[in-house]
Structure 1
Amino acid sequence: MNSVLIFLVIFVNLELVTTVDWEFYLDTPEVIRSWGYPDETHDVTTQDGFILQLHRIPNPNRPVIFLQHAFLSSSFDWVCNSPGQSAGFVFFDAGFDVWMGNWRGNTYSRRHASLDPDEDKEFWDWSIDHHSKFDLPAMINHTLTHTNRENLYYVGHSLGTLAIFQKLSVDQKFGAKIAKIFALAPVGALHHMRGAFSYASRYFGQEIQDLNRKYGPAQFFGASKGLKLIVKYTCGLYTSVEELCSDIVMMFVGPTSDGTWNQTRVPIYMAHSPAGSSSNVLEHFNQMVSYGGVPYYDMGPERNLEVYGTYLPPAYDYSKIADVEVYLFWSEDDWLSTKEDVEGFLVPKLAKVVRGNFRVSNYNHLHFVWGTKAYLDVYRPIIDLINEDL
């Protein structure tokens, strides 16, 4: 009798155990190769010495499309699903030369000409302003030089949209390098943000700033072997815990719905994200929530006066963006890129350059890169818009 009971317990537990897919263990280039696609890795050094890694699915002599990821993410976001669902593979199969950037400080861009990320706090002393001022020009200029192209098509997700808008608002000539901008879950203001990020920012934002000022900038949520093991033996082990992990993600980005989210892949996503950033970037986002609009990073009155010439930081003015075509893809179910901030702030500020304003139903903030229907709702329309130029 006891042996039968033990067998039943083991059998039930085996039914609940899931297996971790092989992508869990692979980096972006390995994932690309594993699906039978060509790949290249490029290193580029920014003007302030950070060494960024670009990943390419090369399609020489074809139009170039550049994909830039969100906060705490990496190039993996663009190849995180099957070839028929992942943006990187979908755009390659449609005939484009695909380049994927990585922000400084993430899994693939933890190098500097003279600073050590594990030893030097200075390595982490940067904000979103540095992404737009240094990272984007370095990556895009390298891509254009290597491919001998005058311009490229830019697809940004979340922070990838915020940074390009910042760059173009202060350097209108940079727009000549961008044929079209496709902004997925676009970020301008964050004043109406909802969910767990909003709660943490509104109730703990000051504490976060005080800690950051007291102890100095540091790595924020960097990828580690320890974190990957936790994910593997929690989210990746039992279907019941897998559901819980999915629910936790939803607390930050918005709800999901049937047919748009593959819950079994959540362990894969979480093995690669969060991919790391600076605590300054988190503080900068908190400032956007508090101040409204898009301020430069507030470093405190004395440092602000030294750098900006004023006690308070200036703000980026998106209305100065000109001579570039912008296409927005957003959803009312997105808790980070909200309807209020998109329609109330972003669209009016970009009125001169917005050529398409696509509202996608039942998408949270991550559906635009992790969603199973993004091919139909987002990537296919982008391909059609680009093909109008060819």
Structure 2
Amino acid sequence: MKVLQGSYHYFICSHLSWVSNGVVGSPAFAAFDQGYDVFLGNFRGLVSREHVDKNISSEQYWRYSINEHGTEDIPAIVEKIHEVKTTELKSSQPSPEEEVSDDQPYKICAICHSLGGAAILMYVITCRIEEKPHRLSRLVLLSPAGFHEDSNLVITLVEYLLLFLAPILAPLVPGFYIPTRFFRMLVNKLARDLHNYPAVGGLVQTLMSYVAGGDSSNWIGVLGLPHYNMNDMPGVSFHVALHLAQMKHERKFKMYDYGSVSANMEVYGSSEPLDLGEYYGLIDIPVDLVAGRKDKVIRPSMVRKHYKLMKEAKVDVSYSESEYAHLDFTFSHHEGLLAYVMSRLQLIGPSPKRQLGLKPVKLRRKDGQVN
């Protein structure tokens, strides 16, 4: 039986982070070499920023939060994998009765890092609330986002800045990105120059190491990789950054707060956004959590918070902690990490029976703009 791997990335990055170390040290190639089909997914706003509406304004284009990553982007990716595999396996399209069944001729294991971890958890939980199949068999989450109250001074200052200035910045700065090819070319050249000048490069490495932790010696060079080129340098919505600041401030893994009781009522049926941590009991597949002791972006204490809530909710969850920093999970070559991830893939077993009709919650999404 085929096992598939879906990989999701982190803040201001793309799927190419999973192959950035080439055929020897990259997680995607390691899984492929073991015989798995590998699918790499991008969230909206990353890499090519095309849109079906060629006249869409910048403000409309960037009007999305992590909600849209978890409830629209990942479902679209998973359904595309389902379409590809059923076609490859010469299976007919399932009937409406079969569509709600977990009996599918393949398994999907989602391997996610940072923001991708938060989005995939949101995806699984909202699918279960809405009584839809999520089609996944296992989650391997590397330093997943969601809880952020234990952070360094720089991240805390950014949190307060975003929350305080949100009403002003949201219409003025809808997204954090470099708008023209010319300026992306300058940034790309600057990154390469920093990598070539030891004195300046060393200073930037020190600053990056303070914010993210770990050995930053190869991170400046990463900025010259294909996914940071002049054509497709990634960007991120202001509302995604604000959503992370809201989570940190509230000390909860919550969906996006639209800023008013009426707006939240329209989307969630309540005055407050959905607290995803309260619904961990809906997770019906095994979850493997991995934390990095040198990670200063998402510290081990925050990954352990996921683990504690999942254990209390009777989720089949494991926890592992190693000497990694935040960017090490994808950009650095660690044989131990690759071996651990491969060992988790081998544990995929039969899908559990679906248990529907648990605590009902209204979840009606606003119209989203999809790349």
Specify the TM-score bucket, using the shorter chain as the normaliser.
Answer: 0.7 to 0.9
Cα distance in 1, alignment partners of residues 65 and 146 from structure 2: 16
Displacement, 1:122? 1.2
Does residue 1:296 correspond to 2:252, yes or no?
Answer: no
| Aligned residue number for residue 321 of structure 1 | 282
1:214-253 pair list within 5 angstroms: 215=171, 218-222=174-178, 225=181, 226-233=183-190, 234-253=193-212
Cα distance in 2 between the residues matched to 1:367 and 1:174? 35
Determine if the alignment matches structure 1 residue 279 to structure 2 residue 238: yes
Aligned ranges for residues 183-194 of structure 1 at < 5 Å? Answer: 183-194=141-152
Question: Aligned partner of 1:364: which letter?
Answer: A
Equivalent-residue separation in structure 2 for 1:160 and 1:293 (angstroms): 17
Question: Which one of the candidate residues 212, 218, 238 is aligned to 2:169?
Answer: 212
Shift of 1:171: 1.9
Task: Please show how residues 132-281 of structure 1 align to structure 2 within 5 Å.
Answer: 132-148=70-86, 149-172=105-128, 177-202=135-160, 204-213=161-170, 215=171, 218-222=174-178, 225=181, 226-233=183-190, 234-256=193-215, 262=218, 265-268=221-224, 271=228, 275-281=234-240
1:85 matched residue in structure 2? 25
Matched residue type, 2:310:
L
Distance 1:309 1:216, change over 3 A: farther
Structure-2 residue corresponding to 1:332:
293
Matched, 1:312 2:312: no
- Separation in 1, partners of 2:345, 2:65: 32
TM-score (norm 2): 0.78
Q: What's the Cα RMSD here? A: 2.6
**Post-superposition CA distance 1:101-131 (Å, at most 9, x none):** 00001113x22222546x3421111110011
Q: Note the C-alpha offset of 1:342.
A: 1.9
**Structure 2: 5+ residue stretches without partners:** 87-104, 350-371
Distance 1:209 1:242, change over 3 A: same
**Closer/same/farther in 2, CA of residues 197 and 105 from structure 1, 3 Å limit:** same
Letter in 1 for 2:274: P
AA aligned to 2:321 is R
Give the counterpart letter for 1:99 in structure 2: F
Alpha-carbon distance in structure 2 between the residues aligned to 1:250 and 1:222 = 24
Alignment partner of 1:111 out of 47, 50, 58 = 50
Using the alignment, how far apart are the partners of 1:88 and 1:224 within structure 2? 31
Secondary structure of the 1:112 match is coil
Is contact 1:195–1:253 with CA below 8 Å preserved after alignment? no
Aligned to 1:360: 322
Higher relative CO (Cα under 8 Å, sequence separation at least 6) belongs to 2
- Please, what TM-score do these two structures have when normalized by structure 1? 0.74
How much has 1:388 moved relative to structure 2? 4.1
Report the alpha carbon displacement of residue 271 of structure 1 after superposing the two structures with TM.
3.1
The AA in structure 2 aligned to 1:356 is S
Q: Which amino acid in 2 is paired with 1:73?
A: C
Is the deviation greater in 320-329 or in 243-252?
Answer: 243-252
Runs of 4+ in 1 over 6 A off after TM superposition: none
The range that moved more, 157-166 or 75-84, is: 75-84
Q: Per-residue deviation at 1:264?
A: 6.6
1:175 CA drift (Å): 6.3
Give the CA deviation at 1:348. 1.8
Q: 1:208 to 1:321 in 2, by over 3 A?
A: farther
After superposition, give the CA deviation of every residue in 1:114-151 in whole Å (9 maximum; x if it has no partner).
2546x342111111001111000100110122022543
User: How many correspondences in the alignment?
Assistant: 319
Any conservation in 1 of the 2:307–2:317 contact (CA below 8 Å)? no
How many Å separate the matches in 1 of 2:159 and 2:233?
A: 18
Q: Is the 8 A contact 1:318 1:349 kept in 2?
A: no
Q: Which moved more, 1:350-359 or 1:217-226?
A: 217-226
CA contact (8 A) 1:162 1:187 kept: yes
Q: Percent identity, aligned pairs only?
A: 23
Mapped pair 1:372 → 2:333: yes
What CA distance in whole angstroms lies between the structure 2 residues aligned with 1:162 and 1:263?
A: 24
SS at match of 1:171: helix
Q: Rg larger in 1 or in 2?
A: 1
